[in-house]
Amino acid sequence: MKVFKFGGASVKNAEAIKNVGSILLRYERDPIVIIVSAMGKTTNKLEEVLSHWASKNELKFNHTVDELRDFHNEIAGALFHARHHKVFNFIDERFESLKNRFDRPLAEHLPFEYDQIVSLGEVLSSFIISEYLVELGLKARWVDARTLVRTDNRYQEGNVQWEKTEQLITECLPGADKETDKWVTQGFVGHTAEGFTTTLGREGSDYSAAIFAYCLNAEAVTIWKDVPGMLNADPKYFENTRLLTAISYREAIELAYFGASVIHPKTIKPLQNKGIPLYVKSFVHPDEPGTVIHAEGSKDHLIPSFIVKKKQCLLSISATDFSFINEESLSKLFEVFYAFRVTVQLMQNSALNFSTLIDPQKVDVHELIQALSPAFTCKYNLDVELVTIRHYDEDTIEQVLAGREVLLEQRSRQTARFVIR
Ligand code: ASP
Ligand code: MG
């Protein structure tokens, strides 16, 4: 059994879905679990739907739902020639019931409603794609991950309950059904013990692929992307990027942690635990080998990798009463960070000062500073950049820093990090 994952960009329109079909036809006889994301920007649009519901803006709510309905109908229209095909009914029913929500009062806990609504993107894409594969003559079946991936009740960021999930997945797949060898299901979604839908966090479909692979002891996972594999830098910021042909699980986790956005950071651990290799391949050039992430790490150090995070905030914190930064004050600081769910991306301290880098898109910096006062005073620099270089050498550092002002730097044997502006 293999697991394939197709993200939002690989199913963003009918052409893209036809390409997915042509990739799967190459594996006509192989048993494959296929995990799909919502099509294109559907998840963002569904988030808008929720916010229009929450702000009771019926006009915008209806408008956004209609846009989404048209978008899905148009894609289905290009894939299925029979107007009475069951996908059209499926799409209409889902959007009808989404529209009917508007007159209901919202649950007090908004993340609950988020998951019930936003999961729709994956439900639709998986159904449409599964039916399309059947049209192509593949032995495909739609599987509902909302009955298989069991999570706790933490909506929007469900924690997987592995034992139960493994039991549910292995009971359902591959099953006695000899008529199927392609199971098409949703990334990103799960369910609670009470049967309510949960989601696993934005961009969580990679993680779903790892969950299914782990439970089924899959031979490999392939994530199909619009890039040739894992590159050593983001082509948006660097020229002459290089393909990392083989890296270790450890290296992949480090790169994801430092901010490389190719795979969701939670994806690696379940695969590492079972020694399942992860391939990252291009859906445009499916013959090219792409990247393999596996246990072996002898090539990890060969190519330096660059990770850039723009628009970060450098916070410089000191105790108001001029006391030292010590274990006691640090634990107070981290209590506040934890309460605000701050991701501390980097930290450094001196006798009187603690510096850290945070992402102002994810935390309200002013509220955080408010919460730290009056015990601490804070200065901050908005709009700084964090550059991480794995397996650096002096030449690459010089190139990256040319003409920039360094506000803070850290080096370990493998990794150099610079806060610059
Ligand atoms: N559709 C979800 C998102 O856009 C999950 C995913 O694509 O991985 O965040
Ligand atoms: Mg995605």
Ligand 2 center from residue 6 Cα (angstroms): 9
CA distances 290 to 6, 298, 383, 417, Å, are 15, 17, 34, 27
Q: What is the pTM of this model?
A: 0.91
Cα gap 240→252, rounded to integer Å: 21
Q: Of all atoms in ligand 1, which is nearest to the CA of residue 188?
A: 5
For residue 60, the CA-to-ligand 2 centroid distance in Å is 25
Span from the CA of 201 to the centroid of ligand 1 (angstroms):
8
Atom of ligand 1 nearest to the CA of 207: 8
| Tokens linked to 354 | 């603690």
Asked if 396 and 389 count as a contact pair (C-beta separation under 8 A), the reply is: yes
Eight-class DSSP state of 363: S
Mutate which of 36, 43, 212 to test ligand 1's pocket (most atoms within 8 Å of Cβ)? 43
Spatial separation of the C-alpha atoms in residues 419 and 108, rounded to whole Å: 41
Evaluate: CB of 202 within 6 angstroms of ligand 1. yes
**242 CA to centre of own chain:** 23
Q: Which domains does the chain have, with CATH numbers?
A: 2-225 (3.40.1160.10), 305-420 (3.30.2130.10)
Q: How far is the CA of 156 from the centre of ligand 1 (A)?
A: 12
Ligand 1 within 6 A of CB of 7? yes
User: Quick one: pLDDT at residue 256?
Assistant: 85
Q: Rounded to the nearest whole angstrom, what is the distance from the C-alpha of residue 304 to the centroid of ligand 1?
A: 29
Q: Give the dihedral of Cα atoms 9, 11, 16, 19; nearest 10 deg.
A: 110
The backbone torsions φ and ψ at residue 71, rounded to the nearest 5 degrees and listed phi first, read -55, -50
CA of 9 to the centre of ligand 2 (A): 7
Ligand 1 atom closest to Cα of residue 38: 1
15: three-class secondary structure by DSSP: helix
Ligand in nearest proximity to the CA of 204: 1
CA distance 347 to 71: 45
pLDDT at 176: 63
Alpha helices in 226-344 (DSSP H): 249-258, 268-274, 327-339
Cβ neighbors of 112 (< 8 A, separation 6 or more) are 155, 196
DSSP 259-293: T--SS-GGGHHHHHHHT--EEEEESSSTTS--EEE
Give the pLDDT score at 238. Answer: 84
- The best mutation among 37, 123, 267 to test binding of ligand 1, ranked by most ligand atoms within 8 Å of the C-beta, falls on 37
From 387, 363, 391, select the one nearest 260 (Cα to Cα): 387
pLDDT values of the chain reduced to their tens digit, one per residue, 421 residues: 999 999 999 999 999 999 999 999 999 999 999 999 999 999 999 999 999 999 999 999 999 999 999 999 999 999 999 989 999 999 999 999 999 999 999 988 999 999 999 999 999 999 999 999 999 999 999 999 999 999 999 999 999 999 999 999 999 998 766 789 999 999 999 999 999 999 999 999 999 999 999 999 999 999 999 999 999 998 888 888 999 999 999 999 989 888 777 788 899 999 999 999 999 999 999 999 999 999 999 999 999 999 999 999 999 999 999 999 999 999 999 999 999 999 999 999 999 999 999 999 999 999 999 999 999 999 999 999 999 999 999 988 998 899 999 999 999 999 999 999 9
Token pair belonging to 291:
């990247």
Of all protein residues, the one whose alpha carbon is nearest to atom 5 of ligand 1 is 203
Write the secondary structure of 162-174 as one string of H (helix), E (strand) and C (coil).
HHHHHHHHHHHCC
37 lines ligand 1 (CB under 6 A): yes
Mutational pocket test of ligand 1: of 6, 203, 211, 266, the residue with most ligand atoms within 8 Å of the beta carbon: 203
Atom index in ligand 1 nearest the CA of residue 206 equals 8
CA–centroid distance, 157 to ligand 1, in Å, is: 12
149: Cα within 13 Å, side-chain hemisphere: 28
**Ligand 1 center from residue 13 Cα (angstroms):** 16
Specify the DSSP element, H or E, that contains 4.
Answer: strand 2-6
Is it true that the peptide bond before 289 is cis, omega within 30 degrees of 0? no
Q: Is 113 in the pocket of ligand 1 (CB under 6 A)?
A: no
Amino acid residing at 293: I
Q: SS3 string of 63-108?
A: HHHHHHHHHHHHHHHHHCCCCCCHHHHHHHHHHHHHHHHHHCCCCC
Among 123, 199, 202, 211, residue to substitute to test ligand 1 (most atoms within 8 Å of Cβ): 202
CA of 331 to the centre of ligand 2 (A): 36
Task: Assess whether the C-beta atom of 38 lies below 6 angstroms from ligand 1.
Answer: yes
Positive or negative, the Cα torsion across 201, 205, 209, 210?
negative
> Contact at 8 Å (CB) between 199 and 188?
yes
Residue showing tokens 């150090």: 301
392 dihedral zone (left: phi>0; alpha: psi -120 to 50; beta): beta
**Contact between 276 and 220 (Cβ < 8 Å):** yes
